[in-house]
Amino acid sequence: MTRAVLERAGVQVQNCTTLAALADELAHGAGALVLAEEALAEPAATGLTQALQRQPPWSDLPVLVLARQGADSRVVAEAMDSVANVTVIERPMRVAAFVSSVRSALRARNRQYDLRATLEGLRLADQRKTEFLATLAHELRNPLAPLQTALTLLKRKRPGPDEAERHYDMMRRQVDHMVRLVNDLMEISRITRGRIELDTAAIDLQQVLRDAVELSRPLIDAAGHRLQLQLPDAPLPMHGDGVRLTQVFANLLNNAARYTPPGGHLVLAAQATGGEAVVSVRDDGIGIAPEMLDTVFDMFVQASGASKAAQGGLGIGLTLARSLVELQGGRIAAHSAGLGQGSEFTVRLPLQATPAAAVLADAPAPTASRRTVLVVDDNRDAADSLAEFLDAAGMATAVAYSGAEALELLPGLRPELAILDIGMPGMDGYELARRLRQHPAGRDLLLVALTGWGQQRDREATAAAGFDHHLVKPLDPDALLGFLDKISR
């Protein structure tokens, strides 16, 4: 009768004539239990109670006990003490009240299943994050080891210019590698927080692809790969951020080069179809397992065994690529016939009906004009090396290792430009900038903030403190000279 009532209400029911049969059904999962009070008096009820007490943390199976009317029942009281989620319904009962109680129990049970899915997702995310942090530590140690070795050799051997130049080139490569790792992390952080800003303009996607090939060419050539370009004769005009799209396609080409054994074949193809630019990057490398295709763009996910083949990297490049493509109205997909059968990544971006604006040629390499510069940083090595570089570029420099020391130097030095670190102990860069602006010798001073923080709110904070410009560490020396030449003009 109970089963008939619940099935008319749309509830799936499984009848069990014994508690042993009930325990067997529980192993397959259940939304709720409905028990007659008399069943709780059976010896087998102890086994049921133990099974309910062994539930995982997320589970709290609802138990509805149909009890006799009248005096309190000892077995019901014991059940309520030993099993937390018990609802007692007296007989005789109204059908509507009973159905309502069962539906409420099932809704609560569904929320528990949702919680289980959430906990499982958090567990997987935590596992991926742990693996990611281990990969990050490993990848940061890789460039640190040769840097440390080269520094030791330079100090002990005092090599000649030719031999020293080889060490310097190696150190620069390792520093560039570390900068790339940190930049990837910062990009992911900005995207996930919604802080990234696009600099969109009319561009030719063909030029973007050529720039991406130029960026990836050293990695492709080093592996001995053959890169085949299949680009249309006509331009691919669109409205987008050329720098970010170059980053996307260079990332895809770098991935193809890393995950393909030496001497492989890479193809970069593009075509216009249905108002879209369709760009594909194909390789004959290690491929992607079918079960990984749906998750290969997720944060902290790396295909099994891919980290060894990648020859360096954090496994977040595809996450970054997908986010940047979607921010510009496009979409990206991965295809692979399976492990060992290569991969293909396809990017679709909306095209414009009108031709893209011509890309301006790069300006000639700038040279910094001579000026007096004050460098302020509590990190002595950072301050001294920057001052030495500016000195070599023909500038007159002075160094202060604290805000107080900078204020002491200001009246006699009267610099035209001050480059200030932000995160200094005591008087930080914000406070120093305010005090410099209040001093007669600093009112017309050009103030440049130098910091590891580069999000929009950080730039707003430096502007509010009186800074004219905001530079992010680590500085590229050539870019710094270009920046100084630009502001002098």
Cβ neighbours of residue 344 closer than 8 Å, sequence gap 6 or more: 280, 281, 282, 283, 334, 335, 336
Domain boundaries in the chain?
2-118, 127-192, 201-350, 372-488
Calculate the CA dihedral of residues 144, 148, 151, 152 and round it to 10 degrees.
-170
Cβ neighbours of residue 77 closer than 8 Å, sequence gap 6 or more: none
Segment-wise mean pLDDT, segments of 10 residues, the chain, 489 residues? 92 90 85 89 80 86 86 72 81 90 94 91 78 65 75 83 85 77 68 67 92 87 93 91 87 91 95 93 92 76 48 64 89 92 95 54 44 90 86 89 92 90 90 92 88 80 91 76 74
C-beta separation of 101 from 107 below 8 A: no
Q: Which alpha helices (DSSP H) does 305-352 contain, by range? A: 306-309, 317-327
Instruction: Give the per-residue pLDDT at 257.
Output: 92
Tokens of 184: 């990837």
Instruction: Give the per-residue pLDDT at 365.
Output: 42
Quick one: which of 330, 306, 328 has its CA closest to 316? 306
Identical topology for domains 201-350 and 372-488? no
Write down how long the chain is.
489
Quick one: which of 487, 489, 456 has its CA closest to 472? 456
Q: Which alpha helices (DSSP H) does 193-261 contain, by range? A: 205-222, 242-258
Q: Judge residue 362's burial from the number of C-beta atoms within 10 Å of its C-beta, 0-12 exposed, 13-18 middle, 19 or more buried.
A: exposed
Instruction: Give the per-residue pLDDT at 299.
Output: 59
CATH topology of domain 372-488: Rossmann fold (3.40.50)
Which residue shows structure tokens 């301050």? 383
Instruction: Give the per-residue pLDDT at 395.
Output: 87
| Separation CA 280–CA 332 (nearest Å) | 9
State the DSSP H helix or E strand holding residue 397, giving kind and residue range, or none if neither: strand 396-400
CATH classification for the domain delimited by 201-350, as one of 3.30.565.10, 3.50.50.60, 3.90.1310.10, 3.30.830.10:
3.30.565.10
Please name the amino acid found at residue 118. Answer: T
Q: What angle do CA 272, 274, 279 make, to 5 degrees?
A: 35
Is this model's pTM higher than 0.75 or not?
A: no
- Please, which residues bridge with residue 203 across strands? 238
| DSSP code of residue 237 | E
Q: Which alpha helices (DSSP H) does 341-447 contain, by range? A: 380-392, 403-413, 429-438
Quick one: which of 329, 21, 97, 5 has its CA closest to 13? 5
Q: How far is CA 210 from CA 215, 217, 229, 268, 351, in A?
A: 9, 10, 9, 10, 18
| Separation CA 17–CA 6 (nearest Å) | 17
Q: How far is CA 273 from CA 326, 333, 347, 348, 351, in A?
A: 19, 17, 12, 10, 9
C-beta separation of 268 from 347 below 8 A: no
C-beta separation of 249 from 277 below 8 A: no
CATH number assigned to the domain covering 127-192: 1.10.287.130
Q: Which CATH superfamily is domain 2-118 in?
A: Response regulator (3.40.50.2300)
| DSSP code of residue 40 | G
